[in-house]
Amino acid sequence: MDNTFHPLFYGFHFYLFGLIAIASAILFVTRKSPVAAALWLINVMFCLAVLYVMLDAQFIGAIQVLVYAGAIMVVFLFVVMLLNLGQPDDLADIRGTGPRLAAGAVGLAILAEVMVLARSRIQGEYAPAAAVELLVPAADAVGGVIAPVAGPLFREHLLAFELTSILLLAAIVGAVVIGKKQGPADAR
Amino acid sequence: MLAESLALSAVLFTIGVVGVLTRRNAIILFMCVELMLNAVNLSFVALSKLYGATGQVFVIFVMTVAAAEAAVGLAIIIAIFRHRQTVHLDDINLLKG
């Protein structure tokens, strides 16, 4: 397989993950249980990460998974469980055979797709003939996908970047102060 | 794929607005706001293919502000819950506790 751009393949996956995102978003706003809603929202965020990668914003896709799906949604789920809002009968259901088989089929399909893509990438770019020159493209790709984002971030937008760090510090302090349990000394 | 991305962004934003307008659970309301921010991020990323990487820089700022907003907002929700034992917005109707 060559490593060229396949418009049909690209378009199919763009529409596929776009439709999954819309379906998950609709399920998210219609779920009664906050835990189920949060999990559907995480699904939306993963689909958006896929779309970011397909739109040539790989770094944004990575931090979408790390920061949004990883950190922010964990804070949401943590608060939901801290306040004990999830209904136990919703949480305790173990799905039947049909959904299990469907989940397995989807997992196998995605795994097969990843393996096909990995094989085509290896044979196209790093075929044995080209393996000797592998070090040169690797050295050229030092900037990678992060350099186009990091350049403007640390040059034109440096002031905004620093202000954002101050905002984060203020938010951390504010969250701790607001969320702190009031002791007997300052209870009113 | 620009037109499709912007359409998807609009659809997701609308679903977020519908969630904010129809749900009454404060935490789910916050999650709907996060969905709207995500939709805006998608249009930023899609347009950054046309207008350069500044759109992606802005997405990073949006994510940072969303994290700060989530932290402070959830702390406020915890404080309200400790005070009123509810996060249902119809029950929270007094500015003076």
Most confident of A53-62, A111-120, A123-132: A53-62
| Within-domain flag for B96 | no
| Within-domain flag for B97 | no
Put simply, whether A38 touches B (Cβ < 8 Å) is: yes
A126-177 pLDDT per residue, tens? 444 444 444 444 444 566 778 888 888 899 999 999 999 999 999 999 999 9
Cβ pair A48, B2 in contact under 8 A: no
Report CB contact under 8 Å: B28, A34.
Answer: yes
Quote the minimal CA–CA distance from B5 to chain A in Å.
8
| Within-domain flag for B65 | yes
Q: Which residue has the higher pLDDT, A114 or A173?
A: A173
Question: For residues B53-78, b (16+ Cβ closer than 10 Å) or e, as one string?
Answer: bbbbbbbbbebbebbbbbbbbbbbbb
Report CB contact under 8 Å: A56, B49.
Answer: yes
| Within-domain flag for B48 | yes
A30-55 pLDDT per residue, tens? 988 888 899 999 999 999 999 999 98
Helix, strand or coil, per DSSP, at residue A126:
coil
Q: Backbone phi, then psi, for B88, in 5-degree steps?
A: -80, 125
User: Does the domain formed by A10-93 have CATH 1.20.120.1200?
Assistant: yes
Distance CA A45, CA A65 (A): 7
Helix, strand or coil, per DSSP, at residue B88:
strand
Q: What residue spans of A31-146 are helical by DSSP H?
A: 34-54, 58-63, 73-82, 88-91, 97-125, 135-140
ipTM field: 0.91
Q: Where are the domains of chain A?
A: 10-93, 138-181
Give the DSSP H/E element, type plus range, for residue A141.
none
Domains of chain B: total? 1
Tell me which residue range forms the domain holding B14: 2-91
pLDDT band at A56 (very low <50, low <70, confident <90, very high): confident
The CATH number of the domain where B76 resides is what? 1.10.287.3510
